[in-house]
Structure 1
Amino acid sequence: MQVKQLLTRTAGALGVTAGLLFASSPLMAQMKIGGNPNTINPSSILELESATKGLLLPRVALTSLSSAAPVTGAVAGMHVYNTTDNAEVQPGEYFFDGSIWVRLNSNDTYNYIEGNGAPTGSCPAKTIYTDSDEDSGTFGQQWTCIGGAWVVYSSPTKTPFFAGLTSNDAGGAKRGMVSRFGHIVVRRETPANSGKSTITPGGIIQLYRGAGIDAGFGGAIDLTNLPGNPLQYRIAVRPTVQNGNGGLVFHTTAPGDTPQPRMMLTPSGKLGIGVTLVEAPNLVHVNGSLQGSEQEVDAAGLAQGTAALSGYRLFQEGGSTNKAQVIVQSGDNFANLVLTKRTLPNPTQDPFVVFRVNGAEQGRIFRDNNGDVRFPTPTSDRRLKENIKNTHYSIQDLMKIGVVEYNYIANPKKERTIGFIAQDLYKVFPEAVTVGGEDAKTNPWRVDANKVTPLLVKAVQDQQKEIESLKAQLSEMNALKAEVASIKAMLGNAGEKSSEATISK
């Protein structure tokens, strides 16, 4: 047996020697160790072959990634198997890249955990801890457990990513936050150059989706909280809207349905709601009723003017000849506010405007049978009044009211008009005056001329009573005058008869 082993070792030595001799020849600069020594890959300089044995690398105890020790004269490409387990290096195969040791990918299984702030206390082996508290001073930093204690984690593998917000390489970590300084681009393979998503270092996400993927949708973001409805909300570029000019469209999608457009922003900055086309003159185009309020208000209440809370509702109906519209315009030669009315069968019963307080009608503006727009007289129903008595005002009070001519200071043409001075009228008839504030431009005194009308009527009534009284007195005087004339006539006739009797004697 010893002889056989000696012969085998001798043959091996001779083979190595022969190999070295052949290696010096340019025709035989290859070596193979193992079975079938005469069969070697033409592209290899050294080939190992065995069905039961493997290559055993030198086992060394590295101290850190940045130190070549204990290997002396390390050059790029040198491979070793490290046996040390510390904060930087763990057992495994490494190669030297010329400046640091780089660990080859491994299948080590780590337990990844997260927490708020830096870890404390003892720890189990093969654990990597990540600080996930955004308010922490060590947010994004990672630690690994070495010898039962936490040490700052340093990845053994070069990758395009950092571990968290540190300068440590992320290595082969499958959990925890990663970061990088450059762009991240995800491209679609086929059709070529038809789509990509880019995350830029400046906080911008760029989405491109070409017609080769979908002619109807460009770049899009889908949002959902329903696993069965991934397209619940979609924000997307729609090339087909706005007469083919495209737009940014907001969609909603019912389960199992296709995205339905709800709101659109055009390339020119115009907004459309419920439409896929905004006409050129319109800055905002809404298809349907437009409602606004301080809180959620019943739409029917706003439409009828009976809503408990304040709000507005604009509504347009029918074709081009049967519309209800509110128009606001500017210009000195145009009305600023125009209200158009639908054609109605009974214009005196269907008003242009209704004024309500707490849902109760207080007045209206309507079109009469002559086609004139009228403001109706204030409500004067006896059934709505109480404490009714005759007024104490009389014609004497009316005579105290001054009627003057004047022009307004702000009138550049100094056009004269006739009317009252509110402060003077207030002294006589305060019911017709609204007292103003200190600034006459912002809060002037005002006169309600309609309230003066009852005083005029009362004065006319008082005057008419005096006229009737004078008429009665005049009638009495005329009767007395007639009676006096009759007496005079009778006395005259008696005198004549007496004279005649005297003469006849």
Structure 2
Amino acid sequence: MRKYIRAIFLSYCFTSLGIYAQVGMIGNNPNKNAILDLNKTNGTNDKGLLLPKVTLTSTTAASPMSAHVAGMHVYNTATAGTGVAAVTPGEYYNDGSKWIRLITDLEPWFNSSTKTSATSNTQNIYQMGKVGIGINSPAAPLHIDGKQTLGILVNYTNAAFTGNIWDGTASADGVDISNNSVRIQKGSGGSGTPLMLSKGKGYTSANMTEYYVAGNRVGSVVTTGTSVVYNTTSDSRLKENIKPTHYGLSDIMKIKVDDYNYKADEKKTLCTGFLAQELYKVYPQAVTVGGENEKTDPWQVDYSKLTPLLLKAIQDQQMQIEVLKNKIEILETKR
């Protein structure tokens, strides 16, 4: 009975007057550096501290608390949330803005060629499982969620990185793999080729690159061993509504050929070719229509698509030549 009366009295003192010293178990001498010492008098105990069990919904949500509180420590019992915000059963603490899981697992990385856990950031390490960055269910040995502005960035400098690789404004050359794209910038750091493809001496396949859309091959670049060939799919089995073209010599005569230089070219190099907007009026098949911004979305011309038109014009011209030859022969015979 005395124990209960004493406990009630102490509880009253703590709650009514506040605590201004170390608190310990009854009968022990609390450590002066601890606010609460749960050990016995001899500094040990045979019992543990049972944390409050809660059901977290994600690392970013304070729930079931009303707000994030830095230093809060709980044991989560739920498996919830998605992506990097997912939570699983285990101990969590709050840093004031999110829940962070206490890592209690063994070191997942091994020292090279051993089964010994890695202990230093200078060791060569490996892991037999899959690694995910930005994703909690990796599908490959290294799976990176590249939905951000930059997914994988490889560049040659440790300096602060600014600008964009995709438009050539990056402060350092590099390779960026993100948003389902591979972007390469080479030039700000000196000379060099942005992309190089090669085959060994004993290669057996001629293909250098292949292009597919929805499972269908639409083009390729192949090598003959001494040169390259650029191919666009033109299989007759893939075509329909086949008929002779209405384009010909008369259309060729409507196309303007101009001399010009590009405004961005400081050397003002002379070029000869077409103005996309003008060519579109005559032969739109060779033109890709652009947008409002001529720098980021310009009108473009595929000069190779003019080849069929040129060939048809030559055929028309040859027919005219044959007609004229026949007329000349008739006139010659009448002399």
User: Which interval holds the TM-score relative to the shorter structure?
Assistant: 0.5 to 0.7
Aligned residue number for residue 319 of structure 2 = 465
In the other structure, the counterpart of 2:303 is 449
Residue pair 1:264, 1:272 contacting (<8 A) in 2 also = no
Question: Helix, strand or coil: the match of 2:196?
Answer: strand
Contact 1:264 1:273 in 2 (8 A): no
Distance 1:297 1:170, change over 3 A: closer
Q: Which residue of 2 aligns with 1:61?
A: none
2:160 pairs with 1:266: no
Highest CA radius of gyration, 1 or 2?
Answer: 1
The question of 1:427 aligning with 2:286 is answered no
Q: Residue 337 of structure 1 corresponds to which residue in structure 2?
A: 195
Q: 1:192: which partner in 2?
A: none
Deviation at 1:363, TM superposition (A): 2.4
Q: Which has the higher contact order (CA 8 A, sep 6+)?
A: 2
SS at 2:313 equivalent: helix
Unaligned runs of 5+ in 2: 9-14, 16-22, 51-70, 72-89, 91-103, 142-150, 153-183
Say whether the 8 Å CA contact 2:222–2:229 is kept in structure 1.
yes
For 1:411, the equivalent position in structure 2 comes to: 265
Q: Deviations over 1:248-300 (max 9, x none)?
A: x8239xxxxx8355x78634xxx85539xxxxxxxxxxx9x99999875589x
Instruction: Verify the 8 A CA contact 1:234 1:259 in the aligned structure 2.
Output: no
Inter-partner Cα distance in structure 2 for 1:341 and 1:392 = 43
Please tell me whether residue 360 in structure 1 is matched to residue 216 in structure 2. yes
* RMSD over aligned Cα atoms: 4.7
Residue identity matched to 1:266: N
2:30/2:37 contact within 8 Å kept: no
- Which AA in structure 1 matches 2:121? T
Deviation at 1:407, TM superposition (A): 0.4
Corresponding residue for residue 399 of structure 1 = 253
Cα 1:251–1:368 change in 2 (3 A) is: same
Q: 1:375 to 1:430 in 2, by over 3 A?
A: same
| Offset of residue 169 of structure 1 | 6.5
Superposed CA deviations along residues 410-442 of structure 1, whole A, max 9, x for unmatched, are 101001110000000000111111000000000
Aligned to 1:157: 27
Instruction: Give the 4+ runs in structure 1 shifted more than 6 A.
Output: 289-295
TM-score by length of 1: 0.38
Q: Provide structure 1 residue ranges, at least 5 long, that are not aligned to the other structure.
A: 1-82, 91-137, 139-152, 179-202, 204-224, 226-231, 236-248, 253-257, 276-286, 300-310, 313-326, 482-505
Q: How many residues align?
A: 228
Q: How far apart are residue 480 of structure 1 and its match? A: 1.4
In structure 2, what is the Cα distance between the partners aligned to 1:266 and 1:168?
A: 36
Q: In structure 2, do the counterparts of structure 1 residues 157 and 382 end up closer, same or farther at CA, with 3 Å as the change threshold?
A: same
Render the CA deviation track for 1:77-99: whole Å, top value 9, x for unaligned.
xxxxxx94444379xxxxxxxxx
In the TM superposition, residue 170 of structure 1 has moved relative to its aligned partner by 5.2
Specify whether residues 272 and 362 from structure 1 end up closer, same or farther in structure 2 by C-alpha distance, changes over 3 A only.
Answer: farther
Q: Distance in 1 between matches of 2:285 and 2:308?
A: 11
User: Is the aligned partner of 1:350 residue 2:222?
Assistant: no
Name the SS for the 1:388 alignment partner: coil
Once residues 273 and 138 of structure 2 are traced to their aligned partners in structure 1, the CA distance between those partners, rounded to angstroms, is 47
Task: Work out the CA distance in 1 between the residues paired with 2:38 and 2:133.
Answer: 54
Aligned 1:55-70 pairs, distance under 5 A: none
Q: Which residue of 2 aligns with 1:228?
A: none
Secondary structure at 1:455's aligned position in 2? Answer: helix
Alpha carbons 1:355, 1:361 under 8 Å: kept: yes
2-structure distance, mates of 1:265, 1:398: 71
CA contact (8 A) 1:159 1:169 kept: no
Answering whether residue 106 of structure 2 is matched by residue 234 of structure 1, we say yes
1-side partners of 2:105 and 2:48: how far apart? 29
8 Å contact from structure 1 (residues 344, 350) kept in 2? no
Q: How far apart are residue 383 of structure 1 and its match?
A: 2.0
How far 1:361 sits from its partner (Å)?
Answer: 2.8
Question: 2:234 aligned to 365, 375, 380, which one?
Answer: 380
Is contact 2:221–2:231 with CA below 8 Å preserved after alignment? no
CA deviations over 1:51-106 (Å, ceiling 9, x no partner): xxxxxxxxxxxxxxxxxxxxxxxxxxxxxxxx94444379xxxxxxxxxxxxxxxx
